[in-house]
Amino acid sequence: MFPCPPFSACKEKEEGKQPGAFIMSVLPPVRKDRIISQLPKCFCKGAALHTEDGFHAKVKTACQEQRTGTVGFKISKVIVVGDLAVGKTCLINRFCKDVFDKNYKATIGVDFEMERFEVLGVPFSLQLWDTAGQERFKCIASTYYRGAQAIIIVFDLTDVASLHHTRQWLEDAMKENDPTNVLLFLVGTKKDLISPAQYSANVQDAINVAQEMKAEYWAVSSLSGENVKEFFFRVASLTFEANVLAELEKSNSRRIGDVVKISNNTSNLYATSKKKQPNCCQ
Ligand SMILES: Nc1nc2c(ncn2[C@@H]2O[C@H](COP(=O)(O)OP(=O)(O)OP(=O)(O)O)[C@@H](O)[C@H]2O)c(=O)[nH]1
Ligand SMILES: [Mg+2]
């Protein structure tokens, strides 16, 4: 996420424009196939972050009334972790570039891709961090875990050990993040390699792990593309929703604080209002 809006955002505020309008106007328009106008469905109701049919009512109203604050020019960080060769890079590449490579090339350290969306008419970007699963690169990769808004923990549906290792991956990623502020997704890959019967026999184990972690469960195939776009749309939508709700909460608590201070001591009014001078670079 940008720690601070650039100078242009301050200028836009002075000119009475929505902050970020300048940045958005110099970027190419969001791709038509990255426009989200409805909350995508979860994959499995038994292991979902929530099962509502649509976006939160407050979020829809805020978007309609253009009260989403800084969300429109934030970049949310998403990290992708899991054992070596479970298919993290292929998953990201299928979504971002619509390609699939059957040859394994280990990720060294980290790599990242940017994806721009438009959710309920508001621009929203995800920075997808692809980390290395190989033990020898783990310490480099873990230095990039910090500040994630969503964590995608990947396992291979054909390799039960990789499912068991997801708990350790989550623990490591959580050392660097605030558990109250991060959305978790547990993703089984290589769905094309198992039969429906095998899948049904094993799915409950994965759902149990997801429930234990409070993660949303998905099963995908990067080879065929099955569920890949649906999955990332769900990640973008839920991350966007959480950002808008946090933004609304922040602006509400600011308003409540102001009232209390004014009614408590009117002599402090000048000092309080001076402190509240808008300064979009702080
Ligand atoms: N059949 C099939 N093969 C897959 C799928 N996803 C990945 N693979 C294969 O699995 C191997 C490893 O995939 P990667 O995406 O490189 O794995 P990774 O998790 O990024 O591995 P590290 O970078 O070492 O952590 C490659 O040979 C891929 O072609 C899938 O959905 N179906
Ligand atoms: Mg990789």
Q: Is the pLDDT of residue 207 over 90?
A: yes
Mean pLDDT (whole number) for 61-79: 94
Sheet with 110-119, strands from edge to edge, namely 35-36, 110-119, 122-131, 75-82, 150-156, 183-189, 216-219
Mean pLDDT (whole number) for 70-95: 96
**Residue 259's pLDDT is what?**
53
Q: Is the pLDDT of residue 255 over 50?
A: yes
Summarize pLDDT for 139-163 with one digit per residue, the tens: 899 999 999 999 999 999 999 999 9
Dist. CA 82 → ligand 1 center (Å): 11
Mean pLDDT (whole number) for 47-72: 95
Separation CA 102–CA 158 (nearest Å):
16
> Going by C-beta distance under 8 Å and a sequence separation of 6 or more, which residues neighbour residue 164?
none
Instruction: Give the position, in ligand 1's atom list, of the atom nearest the Cα of 193.
Output: 1
Mean pLDDT value across the chain? 86
Mean pLDDT (whole number) for 122-132: 97
Q: Whose CA is nearest to atom 2 of ligand 1?
A: 190
| Helices of type H across 65-158 | 88-97, 135-142
Q: What is the three-class DSSP state of 235?
A: helix
pTM of the shown model: 0.84
Say what angle helices 57-64 and 228-264 make with each other, to 10 degrees.
Answer: 80
**Residue 25's pLDDT is what?**
53
Mean pLDDT (whole number) for 90-115: 97
Site to probe by mutation for ligand 1, drawn from 89, 131, 221, 227 as the one with most ligand atoms within 8 Å of Cβ, is: 89
| Residue 88 Cβ contacting ligand 1 at under 6 Å | yes
**Residue 12's pLDDT is what?**
43
pLDDT bucket at 16, cuts 50 / 70 / 90:
very low
Q: Whose CA is nearest to atom 21 of ligand 1?
A: 85
**Residue 281's pLDDT is what?**
36
Largest distance between two CA atoms of the chain: 73
Instruction: Using alpha carbons, list the distances in angstroms from residue 87 to 42, 94, 216.
Output: 21, 10, 18
**Residue 258's pLDDT is what?**
53
Higher pLDDT, 251 or 205: 205
User: Among 67-71, 190-194, 256-260, which range has the highest average pLDDT?
Assistant: 190-194
**Residue 78's pLDDT is what?**
98
Q: Which pairs from 21-27 meet CB under 8 Å and 24+ separation?
A: 23/73, 24/72, 24/73, 24/123, 27/116
Q: 75-82 and 122-131 as β-strands: parallel, antiparallel, unpaired?
A: parallel
ipTM of the complex: 0.99
